[in-house]
Amino acid sequence: MTVFRMLAVAGVTAATAATLLPGVAAAATAPPVPAGATFVPVTPKRLLDTREGHGPVGPEKFVSLDFKNLVPANASAVVFNLTGTNPTEATSVRATPTLTGDSSGSSNLNLAPGETRANLVTVALGQSEPWQGGVELVNHNGNVDLVADLAGYYVNDTSGSRFTAGTPQRVLDTRTQGGLVGPNGTITVDLSGVLPATATAVTFNLTGTDTTGSTVVTAWPHGTPQPTASNLNLEPGDTRPNLVTVAVGPDRKVDLNNHVGDVNLIVDVAGYYATDRGDPFFTVSPVRTMDSRTGPSFGPGESRALDLSPWLPASAKTVVYNLTATNPTSATFVTGYPAGTSVPNTSNLNLVAGQTAPNLAVTPLGAGGRLALRNNAGRVDLITDIAGYFGPAPTPCDGQSCLYAWGGNDYGQLGDGTTVTHGSRVVGQVAGIASVKQAASAMDAGYVLRADGTVWVVGRTGETNQHSPQPTQIRGLDGVGSIAAGWREGFAVRSDGSVWTWGDSLTATQVGGLSGITQVASGSRTHYALRSDGTVWAWGDGTNGALGTPAQSAPNPIQVPVPGRIVSIAGGSQSGYAVRDDGTVWAWGSNYDGELGVGSDQNVIVQPTQVSGLGSVTKLVAARSGAAYAIKSDGTLWSWGSAFLTGQDMPSGGPYEVRVPTRVPGLANVTDVAGGGWQYGLALTGDGAVWMWGSYSAGQVIAPGMSIKYTPTRVPGLDGARVTAVIGGGSQAYVLAN
């Protein structure tokens, strides 16, 4: 039976101690413009032991770790050792900052029935209620007991230490020096030869082998009392590694204690934290970047390079990831290293045939943001889940045409290098992108057209890549003149008049049957293109007359019978719009909320029909939620459709539809307008002010110090920014500014 020395923590929510750990004051502060986080190590501290009070965590159940009274308010992520024991079935355990939108498929711990195993975890803290300041531990199958020991945390300021990675360096191997560590034996590892005097913590891979008993190994700073915590759990005959991050004192020594029996210990240093050098940390919500079970497994002696550029910026130098191996056909070990370099004489995972095992790894990246993995013997499947990265802060946009964002960030769509939604996130810059010509927004992503004709995405990037918290280039696109966004896909018009699209991957493909195109627009599942001859073409879903014809679908573009010469187009949820060269507006499709603006209470109007009483229109946009907006040549803004989104002061008893264009009150000299999903509208006035209105469901889109109203409210935080365009998304919003 494996023995633990543990401190009881009762209840479903753990970490209830009232002591605030070192860092900044507990007062709430807004996250800064992305500059990364620094690390504050602590003496290992037991947070949770479900065997004491709480009991096992059941299938698809969770236990919460509450850090609000343990770490400062500006903490962004925590590092802790997670141990699972007494599992009744084969299971996996994942650590996540929130239970909403947690569908990446990632895991932190894999356990066989009856197994006890530990793994180091780096995970973002929840940043909005009800997840604020917490981490959720979710069990997949059966029942399992969980133990958590805090090693440190990251803060969004410079008060902590930064990380320096290096080629793994073996500093201890008791098989060749010192011999077996006996029961309750403690050895001291002197790291002064590999750590600078300014080091505050060290990260190393700790491997136990030749084990004679069921034991635990604990690491802690030399010269301090041994904590009630553990880092490595071993059974007789085991060879098992675990990544360890532990504080060090001025002597730069670490003590290792073996509890029961004899064991050989191996220490491979991966890097260190110091106050005067290194790189800050950027957190990402767990994202699965490779699973060889869906492709060829790794063969004997095979190395494979993984391109992480879809998820990490070019500035990333070191990746933090959970490495899981499964289905090994023989005893083997797996090594992670920078692609393009020689394989080091170290390992990250040690396996026997048939075993499934994870280990957190910290590995420098090779050229082009690539990570290499090597399997030693037999065949094995490997899985990687990114938790974050170290690197310098992305270069800020200090020239012309920069993109700014605020609101939801579950897919990294704010471009601040993380996938953490901050309840107090001020308007901030989308880092790493400049010379922006145009921007568009899907529900969970922003698309950027640069002046050089390339297209970039930030946020959700489809099922293949999931998300990117930094701008990533769409492959196969250049010479682009304009872009547009659909529900979860993007469109580009190239200089040759061809149309290209992307969505489930970062590679664009051409839309067939279109040429001479000058503009493209998209609704939820229906897409529109404007040809240079003034005709409108549509393809996709024809529900509710969205194609402008009785057709229910059109896999290939068909012409929409709009009379006259069209100069611009827009797409709503299931409705289309066109502006004629005489300044009139025509609409067709769904009219459930009066979004066609034709004064009719018919739910569907298939034939393109003129919008009532509207002329001299210079710009038209549609929301994906049953509303549309038009700017007239005199600078007035007009709206119609769902009353929640029209900017009107809506009576509490309705009506809830505005079926003819109505002027948006309080706004004059409007130069740009945008619709934001189902939630809000945005407008830009000639004095550079940005205004927002919408339904109360748009709460996460508002900036700090702002309350959502049905009528226009000024967006704070943009003083001094020369805003030139507004872009509405789903739970996020963007502005383009000089």
Distance separating alpha carbons of residues 419 and 717, to the nearest angstrom: 21
| Structure-block tokens of residue 656 | 């809830």
**CATH class given for the domain over 162-274:** mainly beta
Least confident interval from 16-30, 133-147, 448-462, 640-654: 16-30
**What is the pLDDT of the chain when averaged over all its residues?**
89
| Structure-block tokens of residue 465 | 């890549």
pLDDT band at 124 (very low <50, low <70, confident <90, very high): confident
Number of neighbours of residue 600 by Cβ within 10 angstroms: 14
526-531: strand order across its sheet: 517-522, 526-531, 536-541, 553-560
Q: Per-residue pLDDT tens for 277-298?
A: 999 998 876 778 899 999 899 9
pLDDT band at 644 (very low <50, low <70, confident <90, very high): confident
Is a pLDDT exceeding 50 seen at residue 514?
yes
| Structure-block tokens of residue 56 | 């096992």
Is a pLDDT exceeding 80 seen at residue 735?
yes
Q: For residue 576, what pLDDT is reported?
A: 98
1-160 with 512-642+651-665: one CATH topology? no
**More confidently predicted of 649 and 640:** 640
pLDDT band at 395 (very low <50, low <70, confident <90, very high): confident
**Nearest alpha-carbon partner for 230 in 89, 65, 363, 119:** 119
Backbone angles phi, psi at 294, to 5 degrees: -90, 0
Q: For residue 286, what pLDDT is reported?
A: 74
DSSP label of 545: G
pLDDT band at 497 (very low <50, low <70, confident <90, very high): very high
The domains of the chain are located at 1-160, 162-274, 512-642+651-665
DSSP string, 315-376: T--EEEEEEEEE--SSSEEEEEEETTSPPPS--SEEE-TT--EEEEEEEE-BTTTEEEEEE-
DSSP string, 627-657: EEEEEETTS-EEEEEEGGGS-----TT---E
Q: For residue 702, what pLDDT is reported?
A: 62
Is a pLDDT exceeding 60 seen at residue 13?
no
Residue type, 116: T
Is a pLDDT exceeding 80 seen at residue 170?
yes
Q: For residue 31, what pLDDT is reported?
A: 32
Distance separating alpha carbons of residues 451 and 319, to the nearest angstrom: 31
Distance separating alpha carbons of residues 65 and 521, to the nearest angstrom: 45
Q: Kindly state the average pLDDT of the residues 354-369.
A: 93
Q: For residue 33, what pLDDT is reported?
A: 53
pLDDT band at 569 (very low <50, low <70, confident <90, very high): very high
Is 280 strand, coil or helix? coil
Q: For residue 284, what pLDDT is reported?
A: 78
**How many helices (H) and strands (E) are present in the chain, helices listed first?**
1, 53
DSSP label of 678: T
Least confident interval from 221-230, 304-313, 315-324: 304-313
Tell me the CA end-to-end span of the chain in Å, nearest whole number.
65
| Structure-block tokens of residue 321 | 């990831």
pLDDT band at 340 (very low <50, low <70, confident <90, very high): very high
pLDDT band at 695 (very low <50, low <70, confident <90, very high): confident
The Cα-based distances of 233 to 240, 288, 358, 395 in angstroms read 8, 26, 13, 43
Count Cβ atoms within 10 A of the Cβ of residue 301 and give its class: 0-12 exposed, 13-18 middle, 19 or more buried: exposed
Q: Per-residue pLDDT tens for 664-690?
A: 999 999 999 999 877 889 999 999 999
**Nearest alpha-carbon partner for 409 in 470, 351, 357, 360:** 470
pLDDT band at 502 (very low <50, low <70, confident <90, very high): very high
Least confident interval from 9-13, 240-244, 385-389, 675-679: 9-13
CATH architecture of the domain covering 512-642+651-665: 7 Propeller (2.130)
Distance separating alpha carbons of residues 713 and 185, to the nearest angstrom: 67
Q: For residue 349, what pLDDT is reported?
A: 93
Is a pLDDT exceeding 50 seen at residue 4?
no
Distance separating alpha carbons of residues 529 and 508, to the nearest angstrom: 17
**Nearest alpha-carbon partner for 299 in 348, 344, 334:** 334
What dotted CATH number matches 1-160? 2.60.120
What's the residue count for the chain? 738
Backbone angles phi, psi at 306, to 5 degrees: -110, 125
